[in-house]
Amino acid sequence: MTEHREENGEEFEALRKSRVPRVVSGMNRPYQPKPLGEQTRAVRRQAIMVILGNLGVLSTGLGLGLPTITNGPMKDTSAPAYLNDSEFSWFASINLFFGPVGGLLSGLLLDKLGRKRTMYVLNVLGLISWILMATASHDNQYAMFMQLMVARCIQGIGMGLSSAPVGVYSAEISTPKIRGRLILGTSISVAGGITVIYILGYFIRDDWRLISMICCAFQLIALLCVIPMPESPNWLLTKSRLAEARKSLNYFRGLEKKPVITHPEVLSEFNLLQKNIQLAEGEKKPSFLKSLKLPEVYKPILILMGMFTFQQITGIFVVIVYAVQIAMEAGVTIDPFMCAIMIGVARVVTTCPMAYILEKWGRRRSGLISALGMGVCMAVLACHKHLTSVPYLPVVTIVAFIVLSTLGLYTLPFFMISEVFPQKVRGPASGLTVAYGTFISFVVTKTYPSMKAAIGNEYCFVTYAILSFVGAVFIYSFLPETRGRTLLEIEEEFRTGKKKPAEPVEMEEIYVK
């Protein structure tokens, strides 16, 4: 190892001397090429692997939107086997109840099995759940209900499991400048899955088993797509698999996939990463429960739990799960399934540029605009019956609510979960916060029909509006700004309470120094 470092040190010194900043003709600033990790070949490799991983996450969106399109056919009393109102409410929400199991499981699997194998587990669970739904009994009502419940429970575990692995993987293989757009792939996949299931429901309105078979075929493809993905170099280093870690880092920086690093820039990054991991391992590593006493651990956990709370109690997932029903009850005059598709498309279209928006506006400003806008939309929706002169007001308001929620409150918790936790607790901390978020989601989704029956839709919307404004206050008061900061800088800010100015560091400056 020492000989290898000496050889690379000589290469590094030679390259450093040859890369003294040069003044570009006609300009007063030095020529500064992009770091390897931000060049086209490296970015393309990172993006392709993240896309392959997120195909499995798309299944989460399929499961979330499923109750919206199956409410009618599953409750059809003319069928030999059907669900009553109570049974369907359990079908719509039981997956969210089991989400915390998947969230806690993700923390364990991420550390023990690694990022890639955790994605295998995620896809296998999804495949089993869709097979169970596609083969549910046609004529035995009790057997059909129980099989659907088992399938939805497995989907819930997969949903909780899906929130962390690809996001953590994305954060670990990328550089700070492009980290945001890669992490956002998880949110885009969930939104895409919801839209796809709405479209399937529009064209296949009375055969939910056929829809399940289609989803089953997709899940199998997603499972096969995990095979070519290299493991994260961070996790490989924590397991002392140095040769594999070098190959992985070489690949994600656009170089040949070799067990030896010859490029000085990649070698510098590898040594820094290895040093930080060795320092963390050299310290007496407390258990996760003891780590909760550390400010760099409990602060981001509490903040993200608060974000997940407001994400749920402001009605975002209620609109996703009951989109068609809410559209009909709000007085939408167009086909409610078409309204659901508009909602799904609006979420996807808004999510795609979110990486740019979050880097341009920052996390705090995006969250504030989102929460305040959602509050206004819910207030208008509550009063829409008194504003009958405005055509298509319910449709416009519901779609605007979805767009604004995607701009911040829906996206931010999943986005930031991959960047605010220290390496030593990233797995269990991510699992804990996802578990909490999915449990709150279950409570809100399961109680919505009872809440609607007790106080009516208008007052439900008023409640969501008030809670959205309270969420804006929470974001303003507690949410940190992580834009343009490395994972180590974010951790240091939580530990010390001092914010270091986020200044872009050019690789040429590093070489000169």
How confident is the model at residue 507, as a pLDDT? 33
**Residue the block writes with tokens 């069928």:** 79
Q: pLDDT, tens digit, for every residue of 94-107?
A: 998 898 888 778 87
Bridge partners of 23, per DSSP, are: 30
Question: How many other C-beta atoms lie within 10 A of the C-beta of residue 268?
Answer: 16
- Cα separation of 265 and 270, whole Å? 9
Q: pLDDT, tens digit, for every residue of 92-144?
A: 889 988 988 887 788 789 889 999 999 999 999 999 999 999 999 999 999 99
Domains of the chain: 36-229 (1.20.1250.20), 238-278 (no CATH), 294-499 (1.20.1250.20)
**How far are the Cα atoms of 25, 422, 423, 434 from residue 426, in angstroms, in the given order?**
47, 6, 5, 12
**How far are the Cα atoms of 44, 101, 126, 170, 305 from residue 432, in angstroms, in the given order?**
32, 9, 21, 19, 9
Assess contact for 312 and 440: CB atoms under 8 A. yes
How confident is the model at residue 32, as a pLDDT? 60
Which residues does the chain have with pLDDT short of 70?
Answer: 1-32, 280-286, 387-391, 499-513
Which residue, 161, 158, 153, is CA-closest to 97? 153
How confident is the model at residue 288, as a pLDDT? 79
Assess contact for 441 and 103: CB atoms under 8 A. no
